[in-house]
Amino acid sequence: MNIEDYRDYSIAKKEVTEHFPFDDDVLVFKVCNKMFALASLLKWEKGEAFINLKCNPEYAQELRAEFESIKPG
Predicted pLDDT at 1? 82
The string of pLDDT tens digits covering residues 26-67 is 999 999 999 999 999 999 999 988 899 999 999 999 999 999
Q: What is the pTM of this model?
A: 0.84
Cβ(54)–Cβ(8) under 8 Å? no
Q: Report whether pLDDT(10) > 90.
A: yes
The Cα 24–Cα 14 span in angstroms is 24
The Cα 35–Cα 54 span in angstroms is 8
Q: Where are the domains positioned within the chain?
A: 3-66
Tell me the mean pLDDT in the region 1-13. 92
Class of domain 3-66: alpha beta
